[in-house]
Amino acid sequence: MPNEDLADEFVALTRRFVDDRVIPQAPELERDNSFPDTLVKEMAEMGMFGMVIDEEYGGLDVDWRTYWRVVSELSRGWMSLGGVLNSHIITAHLLKVFGTEEQKTRYLPKMATGELRAALAMTEAEAGSDVAAIRTTAVRNGDTFVVNGSKMFITNGERAGLVTLLAITDKDVRPRHRGLSVLLAESGPGLTAGRKIEKLGYNGVETVPLSIEDLRVPADNVLGGEPGRGFYHVMTGGEIGRLNVGARAHGVARAAVDEATRYAMQRHTFGQPISNHQAIQMIIADMVTKTHAAAGLLDVAADAIATGRRADMEAGMAKLYATEAAVEVVMSAMRIHGGYGYTKEFLVERLYRDAPQMVIAEGTNEIQRMVIARSHFGRAAKATRA
Ligand SMILES: Cc1cc2nc3c(=O)[nH]c(=O)nc-3n(C[C@H](O)[C@H](O)[C@H](O)COP(=O)(O)OP(=O)(O)OC[C@H]3O[C@@H](n4cnc5c(N)ncnc54)[C@H](O)[C@@H]3O)c2cc1C
């Protein structure tokens, strides 16, 4: 059972951490594209890496509404911190729901403390939206799988001690997605991170290609112990990822609202603060409304995930709306800053570079629309039959 007593306290603790520790350091870390070692250590001490892990494995086991609020707070300070958590929390959730007892006991306690952090490696150079088109293969040889291939755009891929890796374990089965499995691969020989990909924003946290050459993964490390379930596993993980990305977008939008509000109240034109001009008030009204609407959809998604049933529609709607809203809200904040918003002196410049990542990652928003429509029609057809 999620630990409800902790919820508000944990969000408040995160808020203070962001105000006191993250906001002062983020500009320099982002400018230098440096990994935030100290902040990540402090996040680990606060228990953030164990947020969704059961108490019996050393986690805090907070509910999903609390999880997204914590990610939003972090991202209000710096979106990259929300990204450090994402693949780790997805992996923790997959272990919790699908892992064998042995897999849970081996990995969850170390993941709860942050001693072991996880990356998620699905995407390949030729397969992003079309996950089932991956080419990385895992061939059974006795009690190990020998894995060969490559992955692209893997966030946390250089520092993670555990890589949750999607591979083909049966190339002949049709449809293809039934031949995929998730392997829990520990970093080591056979798994090599390439050079950090240079990005528009989302700096500090590394995103890398991975090359996989004769990587040996024990057969016991197939998630859940049974091959062929990988596609279903990553789709379930995607719901958690979409909650994270939507929450990140919410945090970025809040930062943009805060910055624009402050600026509008102190910047004068024509003898008065620009916040008195109706044109600025209209822009701010839309910014605030969209940010609050995103929070509503994130709660809907969190509650749907908490039921344990498929929540692809709810998580998709939250991700779609919150990320599109973030892009618009950030652009509005830039408008309100006038010429200064276009300089590197003001935070909105960074928010403007960070926001588009969330429209693309964890399933593009075109793919979200497809998922939402498919679920919607599926539910409508079921209701008609009932
Ligand atoms: C900074 C960053 C971090 C990332 N981190 C990770 C990570 O940690 N792990 C990981 O596995 N992946 C990661 N990704 C990969 C990300 O999930 C993919 O980039 C994303 O899913 C899109 O895949 P793609 O880039 O191959 O685009 P494509 O799939 O080639 O899509 C190109 C365009 O076509 C559209 N499109 C594709 N198919 C359809 C269709 N059927 N109908 C309509 N439109 C369609 C897409 O919406 C998009 O506009 C990351 C990406 C970025 C940029």
CATH number at residue 210: 2.40.110.10
Asked if 190 and 279 sit in the same domain, the reply is: no
Ligand 1 is surrounded, with C-beta below 6 A, by: 87, 120-123, 128-129, 153-155, 199, 202, 207, 357, 360-364, 366-367
Give yes or no: 314 in active site. Answer: no
Distance CA 311, CA 11 (A): 24
- Which of ligand 1's atoms lies nearest the C-alpha of 197? 1
Question: Residue of the nearest CA to atom 35 in ligand 1?
Answer: 366
Question: Residue of the nearest CA to atom 13 in ligand 1?
Answer: 153
- Which contiguous run of DSSP H or E holds residue 329? helix 312-336
pLDDT tens, position by position, 113-148? 999 999 999 999 999 999 999 999 999 999 999 999
Asked if 161 and 193 sit in the same domain, the reply is: yes
Answer yes or no: is pLDDT of 7 > 90: no
Select from 360, 369, 371, 372 the residue to mutate for testing ligand 1; criterion: most ligand atoms less than 8 Å from CB.
Answer: 360
- How high is the mean pLDDT of the chain? 97
First-to-last C-alpha distance (Å) of the chain: 32
Asked if 54 and 77 sit in the same domain, the reply is: yes
Reported as a pLDDT band with limits 50, 70 and 90, residue 2 is: confident
For residue 72, the CA-to-ligand 1 centroid distance in Å is: 23
The per-residue b/e assignment along 106-128, b for 16 or more CB within 10 angstroms, e otherwise, is bbbbbbbebebbbbbbbbbeebb
Residue 6's pLDDT is 78
Q: Are 66 and 88 in contact (CB under 8 A)?
A: no
Q: Of 164, 92, 97, 167, whose CA–CA distance to 133 is shortest? A: 167
Distance CA 73, CA 207 (A): 22
Question: Residue of the nearest CA to atom 37 in ligand 1?
Answer: 129
Kindly give the interhelix angle for 79-98 and 101-113, rounded to the nearest 10 degrees: 160
Distance CA 322, CA 73 (A): 15
Question: Residue of the nearest CA to atom 44 in ligand 1?
Answer: 366
Domain boundary residue among 87, 117, 147?
Answer: 117
Asked if 293 and 194 sit in the same domain, the reply is: no
Residue 32's pLDDT is 97
- Which of ligand 1's atoms lies nearest the C-alpha of 362? 17
pLDDT tens, position by position, 303-361? 999 999 999 999 999 999 999 999 999 999 999 999 999 999 999 999 999 999 999 99
User: How do 137-141 and 144-155 pair as beta strands?
Assistant: antiparallel
Return the higher-pLDDT residue of 304 and 5: 304
Provide the strand spans (E) within 248-349: 268-269, 272-273
Domain that holds residue 208: 120-228
Asked if 372 and 246 sit in the same domain, the reply is: yes
Q: Are 228 and 181 in contact (CB under 8 A)?
A: yes
How many helices (H) and strands (E) in the chain?
11, 9
Number of structural domains in the chain: 3
Domain boundary residue among 117, 133, 148?
Answer: 117
Asked if 75 and 135 sit in the same domain, the reply is: no
Express as a percent the part of the chain with pLDDT over 90.
Answer: 97
For 133, which DSSP code? G
Residue 1's pLDDT is 61
Residue 207's pLDDT is 98
Question: Residue of the nearest CA to atom 24 in ligand 1?
Answer: 128
- Which of ligand 1's atoms lies nearest the C-alpha of 207? 3
Q: Of 113, 19, 33, 46, whose CA–CA distance to 80 is shortest? A: 33
Asked if 151 and 210 sit in the same domain, the reply is: yes
pTM across the whole model: 0.97
Reported as a pLDDT band with limits 50, 70 and 90, residue 257 is: very high
CATH of the domain at 262: 1.20.140.10
pLDDT tens, position by position, 259-301? 999 999 999 999 999 999 999 999 999 999 999 999 999 999 9
Reported as a pLDDT band with limits 50, 70 and 90, residue 3 is: confident
Amino acid 256 reads A
Q: Of 163, 154, 161, whose CA–CA distance to 124 is shortest? A: 154
For residue 363, the CA-to-ligand 1 centroid distance in Å is: 6
